[in-house]
Amino acid sequence: MNYQQILEEIAAETADEAGRGQLATYIPELAKVPPDRFGIHLATLDGGQFAFGDAEIPFSIQSIVKVLAVAMAYGKLGERLWQRVGVEPSGTAFNSLVQLEYEKGIPRNPLINAGAIVIADVLLDLLDDPETEFIAFVRKMAADETISYNLQVAEGEKATGFRNAAMANLLKSFGNIRNDVNRVLDFYFLSCSIEMSCRQLAQSFLPFANHGQLPGTTEKVFTISQTKRLNALMQTCGFYDEAGEFTFKVGLPGKSGVGGGIAAVCPKQFAVAVWSPLLNPKGNSHRGMKALELLTTKTGFSVF
């Protein structure tokens, strides 16, 4: 498979999509990102690395981090995790309060904001030094010690995160937040601020394509069963109320973020990350979605 040629074809065929969509202006730092950025990186399990465009420029991964957070929590807590958060698609916006109220404080899944806030609370209980231990876990997944938080992004999110604060307080009222609400929110905003390049992001998702094993090592970060379930969550819940559309058009487990990034995996084959900051009305990268649709069409690889 000539992945490099395929990536170059994808870039050319999606060039007309470059100006479509909107930046996530409600987060101050994201509003400053050049809207014409486009990068894609594909990493194969046998060590192949293929890239095009702005694949080495770090960007705010935002909600993509939710996959890494729930993976860490699941690896430590096991099946008890699902007592506090569900595994069903939401069918609503990522920051919906209505569903949370209706379902009495049990978020529909860990990849919407309410669910990720609960996961942040879980990690605060499980970790002695959550900020340090979580970034260490992300670096381990990506095999890259240079990955870090962006404090400016975190502060900007905190200053404008009124709806997330409302969710956290609603969760607290139902007894599904155990730590101080402000402490939970600070950790949640900080985790969403992590910056990674497409290369780093693709590398960090390779264990999900490799039965939970870090490529090139004998170390397993999750069991085969846990990996299967985490991939299932990405497949059904990774794109909020556009998860069905992504499954229909792309057919890979994946996760998007309002920073314009998307990470996806093809089990036993590769992990891929694409970045294009302009978002469609559902909050997913407009050009990124099209790029991944073309990738599975051209390679013939999907989970279906």
CA dist 33 and 23 (Å) reads 8
At 269-301, the pLDDT tens digits run 999 999 999 999 988 999 999 999 999 999 999
The per-residue pLDDT for 117 is: 97
- Residue 18: which pLDDT band, with cuts at 50, 70 and 90? confident
Q: For residue 95, is pLDDT > 80? A: no
Q: For residue 252, is pLDDT > 90? A: yes
At 194-251, the pLDDT tens digits run 999 999 999 999 999 999 999 989 999 999 999 999 999 999 999 988 899 999 999 9
Q: For residue 91, is pLDDT > 80? A: no
- Residue 6: which pLDDT band, with cuts at 50, 70 and 90? very high
Burial status of residue 171 (CB atoms within 10 A of its CB: 0-12, 13-18, 19 or more): buried
Mean pLDDT of the chain, nearest integer:
95
Quote the CATH superfamily of domain 3-59+196-298. DD-peptidase/beta-lactamase superfamily (3.40.710.10)
The per-residue pLDDT for 90 is: 81
What whole-number percentage of the chain has pLDDT above 90? 88
Q: What does the pLDDT average to over 138-164? A: 95
For the domain made up of 63-192, give the CATH fold. Beta-lactamase (3.40.710)
Does 3-59+196-298 match 63-192 in CATH topology?
A: yes
The per-residue pLDDT for 208 is: 97
The per-residue pLDDT for 131 is: 97
| Of 258 and 94, more confident | 258
The per-residue pLDDT for 46 is: 93
Could you tell me which residues come within 8 angstroms of residue 134 by beta carbon, excluding any fewer than 6 positions away? 69, 72, 123, 127, 191
Q: For residue 96, is pLDDT > 80? A: no
Q: What does the pLDDT average to over 55-74? A: 97
Could you tell me which residues come within 8 angstroms of residue 172 by beta carbon, excluding any fewer than 6 positions away? 181
β-strand 270-275 against 261-266: which pairing, if any? antiparallel
The per-residue pLDDT for 101 is: 86
| Of 292 and 102, more confident | 292
The per-residue pLDDT for 103 is: 86
At 45-58, the pLDDT tens digits run 999 999 999 999 99
Q: For residue 92, is pLDDT > 80? A: no
Q: Where are the chain's structural domains?
A: 3-59+196-298, 63-192
Q: What does the pLDDT average to over 5-9? A: 98
Q: What does the pLDDT average to over 172-177? A: 96
